[in-house]
Each structure stands twice: as structure tokens, then as C-alpha cells.
A and B are shown apart, each in its own frame.
Chain A
Amino acid sequence: MSLLILFFASIVAIFLLALLIKWLYPKSKTALSGADFQKQLQIHGVTGTIDQMLVSTTGKEAIAILKNNPHFAVIRAFGDRYSLRVLNSEQIEQEGAKISLPDYTWPPFFILTHDAETMTNWLLAKRDENDA
């Protein structure tokens, strides 16, 4: 019982500390930029530069096709930290504006509805390239 009380007290303390951090260190609301994305590609040693990119509805994720690289690059921003994946077209699932990766730690994200067709065309083109 005392353990449960301790646990719930911890949850309250976590909530209050998180509020304090949010207040003292507000996050930038700026959407991901191509420059941020390119910098992360370099840091992660990915060859190729961004050809075109689509930013998600939240502005925190982006997917790009690369010059001189047959793969897609996908990035997610966590404040000023980033998580990056480089995947082939077979590994990316698209359902309209919803993009899913074969990665348990990556929730699906949504691109703008009017970008969905572009994304479909990218996937088809890359799959054709792979088949050729």
C-alpha cells in the first residue's frame, strides 16, 4: 500500500517537474527545416543530399528523397534532438496522408493531404527503380 502511495506521489512530482521544465525551457514551435534535416544526414553519415522533402502536419516529422541515394530519409524532431531512419521504398507504408514505418518506436505520422499524391508517386518511382 505504501508503495502505491509512493508511486502516485512520484507521478504528481513528475507532473509538477515537467510543468516547471516546460515553463523554463519552452520548445520552439518552428517546423523542421531542410537545413536541420540535411545537417542530421551529415551527422549520421548518410550519403546524398535532400532532393525534395515533405513535412508532417505537426511540423515535427519529415520524409525526403535524396540525390545520389536510392533510399528515403525520415526524421522526427524532439525539441532540438532528432531521430533519423534511412529506409527503402518497400519499408514505408502509405495510407493516404498516413505514413508508417516498420519501427516499433516510431508512431505513424501524417503529411498534408495535398502532399499524399506526391508521396505515392515517390514510392512508385522508387519501387520501379528497384525493380529495373
Chain B
Amino acid sequence: MPENLPDIDVSTWAGPLYIVLILIEIIAIKIRGRGGQYEAKDAAASMFMGAGSAMVNAGYGVVTVVIFMFAYDLAPFKLPFNVWTFIAAFILWDFAYYWVHRYYHRSRWGWAAHVIHHSSQHYNLTTALRQSWTGFWSGAFVLYLPMALLGFHPSLIALVGGLNLIYQFWFHTEFIDKCPKWFEAIMNTPSHHRVHHAKNPRYLDANYAGVFIIWDKMFGTFVPELKSDPPDYGLVSDLGTYNPLRIFSHEYVGIFKDIMQPKLSLMQRLKYIFAPPGWCHDKSRLNSHQIKREYLKSHPEHKGTEGF
């Protein structure tokens, strides 16, 4: 570990910060009478998912560190820790996060881990805590490995990853409408991320960014929030439970049921695992592109507008 790299475990001080901010939001919405909604069981489920995720990820963290240290040892040169390598690591992590997040949405195996985060029909700060318990098994961490191979120390990678996650907490709110224009142009904001959590056909598969919204603008996945189409949060097919164990496992159960169907080819079974969510051999379900197409059939006036 580089000598001057601060030994900060960001998660130890993030917990109390989250609780304070949630308290502020709960009370502020009540006083203001708008800007979001809370439902006790939904919020409790979200927070429990967050606590569970922290526990599980602490276990996987050990394995991840070993893998990253192995990759770092292979790096032809080792980068020192200074302000420039910190900035570079922060930006690189966010770039990789964009692709990790895109993978989570475009492959059912990734989606099975990430769907937890989208399973609430509410959008408030507790939604941010509704995190995956199986992120490690999604294999997405592989997309961060090139950073170690480039010579960034795993401790620095963990630090920027933690800071990235903390940044993503505050914008899970309806309490803030829009930020200053320059900020909205560069950074991920509540408005941009509300779009990401919406199930409106227009907003499906949009705004994957973590910290910098520029990645979505660069790679054609940016959709702005429209007043004419307020976000409707949740899943295309919303869950019928608050039970955290079912929330965590439901997509894996779905995958298992699908691949166990009789008379499927190997390719079809693999597609049930890795193709975009909604893929179906008999076309009885729709993926996000098909949902958009179907929507445009009944709303042709929206063709060519944002998100279509």
C-alpha cells in the first residue's frame, strides 16, 4: 500500500451520514408537504436490503481484494498516490461503473443482482440503500480490474469506489427538483437518476451514470426528465411483496424456472440467463426495446422524442 494513501474505510462513516440525511428528508417532506413520499414497510425493506448488502459484501470484499492484488502484481508499473492519480482513479472508476451498470441492465444475470435496487415503487433516500447482495456473483467487478492492471493500488481503487457509491446516495430523492444548469450538464443529479429509476417506456435503459452524466451523453443513453412524463418508479412488473428474501432472490428464481422448462435448446437456456431481461423463447414477454416499440404503436406522436 502506498505510504501516503490515507487508510480510510469510507463505509464506517457513511452509515451515520445516511441515517442523518434520511431523517432530514423524512421530516423535510412532511414539513414541505411535497417532494417525495415515504412508506414505512417499503423504507424498512430498503434499509434492511442495505444492511444485508453491507454484511455480504464485507465477506466478498476479502476475495475481491485478493483478486485485485493479484492483478496489481501483474501491472508493469505501480502508480504513486497523489492528487493526480486520485483524480484519474476516480474518473476511471466512474467510467467503468457506467459499463458495469449498463451490463446490470442489459444482461439478465447482471439484472438478477441489480433488480433489487429498482424494486421499490418509491424514490427516496432509502431507495439508495436497496442494494444487491449478489453483486460479486454478477462478475461485474472484472470491469474494474483493468485499473489494477494499470498500476492503481487496490486500496486506492477501493477508496474511489466507496466515494463513488457515497456520491450516488444523495440523488435518490424527489425533494430536489433541478440543480444549476452547469451541474446538470456534467454531474449525475436527482433529476437524471429519477429517469433511471422510472418504468415509463420512454425512460427504460437510460442514464446509467454514477457520478458524471457525461458518459450517458457520450454513449447515447442520456434521456432528460420531462415534466410532461413524470417518472413512475419501480419495475415493469412490480413485485407483490416487501419480504427482503423474496426481493433479493426473485429474479434468480425466475431464471431457474425459465431454464428448467422442457424442450429448450442449450442456446435458449443460455439466453434466459444472459440475454437482456424480458427475453423469452416464445415471445410471451417483452424486453425494453420491445416495450418501447409497442408503446409507440399506440402513441405514434412520441416517435423521435426523447427516449424513443
Question: Which residues of A are interface residues toward B (Cβ below 8 A)?
Answer: 3, 6-7, 10-11, 13-15, 17-22, 24-25, 27, 43, 45, 76, 78-85, 101, 103-107
Assess the A78–B39 pair: CB atoms within 8 A.
yes
> CA of A106 to CA of B41 in the docked complex: distance in angstroms?
16
B241 interface contact, C-beta 8 A: yes
B42 interface contact, C-beta 8 A: yes
Chain B: minimal CB distance from A80 (Å): 8
B106 interface contact, C-beta 8 A: no
Chain B: minimal CB distance from A92 (Å): 14
Assess the A18–B250 pair: CB atoms within 8 A.
no
**Chain A residues within an 8 Å CB radius of B237:** 85
Question: Which residues of B are interface residues toward A (Cβ below 8 A)?
Answer: 15, 19, 22-23, 26-27, 30, 37-44, 47-48, 50-51, 54-55, 58, 121-122, 126, 232, 234, 237-243, 246-247, 249-250, 253-254, 298
Assess the A6–B15 pair: CB atoms within 8 A.
yes
Assess the B19–A17 pair: CB atoms within 8 A.
yes
Assess the A107–B240 pair: CB atoms within 8 A.
yes
The listed residue (A3, A25, A85) touching B30 by CB distance below 8 A is A25
In the complex formed, the residue of A with least CB distance to B55 is A7
The listed residue (A14, A81, A104) touching B121 by CB distance below 8 A is A81
Assess the B51–A17 pair: CB atoms within 8 A.
no
Q: Which of A14, A25, A80, A107 has the most CB of B within 10 A?
A: A14
A-B interface, 7 closest residue pairs, ranked by CB to CB distance from nearest = A106-B240, A81-B121, A10-B51, A22-B40, A83-B238, A18-B44, A105-B239
**Chain A residues within an 8 Å CB radius of B44:** 14-15, 17-18
**Chain B residues within an 8 Å CB radius of A7:** 51, 54-55
Assess the A20–B26 pair: CB atoms within 8 A.
yes
> CA of A17 to CA of B126 in the docked complex: distance in angstroms?
10
Assess the A104–B250 pair: CB atoms within 8 A.
yes
Assess the B240–A105 pair: CB atoms within 8 A.
yes
The listed residue (A11, A18, A105) touching B40 by CB distance below 8 A is A18
